[in-house]
Amino acid sequence: MAISYEELTTKHPCFARGDKSNNGRIHLPISPSCNIECKFCERSFNSYEVRPGVSRTVITPQEAIDAIRRALEFCPDIKVAGIAGPGDTLASPFALETFRLIKKEFPQLVKCMSTNGLLLAEKAQEVIDVGIDSLTVTVNAVDPQIEAQLNDGIYWHGQHITGVEAAKILIEQQLKGIKLVSDAGITLKVNTVLVPEINSDHIETIAQTVAEAGASIYNIIPLIPQHKLKDSREPDCMERERAILRASKYIDVFRHCQRCRADAVGIPGGEDFGDRIYVDLQRLSRQDTFSHG
C-alpha cells in the first residue's frame, strides 16, 4: 500500500505543504533515454550546473543500491529515493527495475518517480505493482495547441509524430495515466514548466484539469531559457506568484522547488553530497537526454 498524501507531506521534501521541509532525497541518474522532445530541454553531463537535465553520469540499478547505502551514511536525513532522469523514467526499464531492488533493500525509503507521462497509462499497472509511493508527471499544457509550442514531437509505438497531433496523444496519455495511478492510491504531483509567453494564462486550466484527474499537489517550475526556448525569458516573481494563486484555487501548491539536478543528493536547497556519492561512477561524458525533477 502506497504512503498516504498526508504522511508524504511530512516525509517528502517535494510534497511539503507550507514551510520548506528538512527531509532529504537521493536522485539516482538511471534513465538514459527520452521519448519526447521538449523545446526547453538541454542535457548535459557535468558536476557544476544546478538544474534539471544535468548529471555526472548514468548508473546501473545495482550501482544505485550502493549509492543509496553510501548516501545514507553522509546524510541520514534522506527519506526519499527518487528517479528523475536524466531521460524519462518509463522510456527504458531501468527505473522500475531499480525500484524493485530498493523495495527489498531499503523498505523504509519513499520511492519517488518522475515522468513525462507518455507511457504512464500503458505502464500504470507496473508502476502500481512496483510500489511507487509518489509520482510526478510533468504536464505543461492540457490544450494541444499550447503543448505543441512547448514540445516538438513524440516517439510513439515506433513512430515519430510531431506538432499538434503529438501533443494530443501526449496529453491524453498523461491524463489517463494520472487517473489510473491516483485511483490506485498513489499520491500524484504535477509539475508545470512556466513559460511566460506560452502557458502562463493556461495555468489555471492545467491545475483544474489535473486535480480532476486525481493529482494532489502542483508545482510550478520557472523556465530556464535554453535549447529552442533560449530566447524566451524566465518568469519574474510576480508572474510566479500569480500562477501559484491561480492554481491554488483548485489544488495544493508546492512552493520550494529547487530545480534539482538528476543526480542531486541531500536536502533540496542544502549541501549537495553528489560529488561524494557519484565520483567513482563517472564515466565518459555523454550527450543524451534530460530530466524534469
Of 37 and 165, which has the nearer Cβ to ligand SF4? 37
Distance CA 212, CA 214 (A): 5
Give yes or no for residue 169 binding ligand CLF (CB under 6 A).
Answer: no
Which residues, 103 to 122, sit near ligand CLF by CB under 6 A? 112, 114
Distance CA 257, CA 99 (A): 23
Of the candidate spans 119-127, 150-158, 166-174, 252-260, the one that interacts with ligand CLF by CB under 6 A turns out to be 252-260
Of 147 and 252, which has the nearer Cβ to ligand SF4? 147
Give yes or no for residue 281 binding ligand CLF (CB under 6 A).
Answer: no
Which residues does residue 25 pair with via DSSP β-bridges, in sequence order?
80, 266
Give yes or no for residue 38 binding ligand SF4 (CB under 6 A).
Answer: yes
From the list ligand CLF, ligand SF4, none, partner contacted by residue 176 (C-beta under 5 to 8 A by kind):
none
Give yes or no for residue 204 binding ligand SF4 (CB under 6 A).
Answer: no
Which residues, at least 6 apart from 224, have a Cβ–Cβ distance to it below 8 Å? 40, 51, 52, 234, 259
Of 144 and 293, which has the nearer Cβ to ligand CLF? 293
Give yes or no for residue 11 binding ligand SF4 (CB under 6 A).
Answer: no
Q: Which residue is nearest to ligand CLF (CB)?
A: 293
Give yes or no for residue 25 binding ligand CLF (CB under 6 A).
Answer: yes
Give yes or no for residue 174 binding ligand SF4 (CB under 6 A).
Answer: no
- Interaction site with ligand CLF (CB under 6 A): 14, 25, 27, 80, 82, 84, 112, 114, 136, 219, 257-260, 268, 293
- Interaction site with ligand SF4 (CB under 6 A): 34, 36-38, 41, 87-88, 116, 289-292
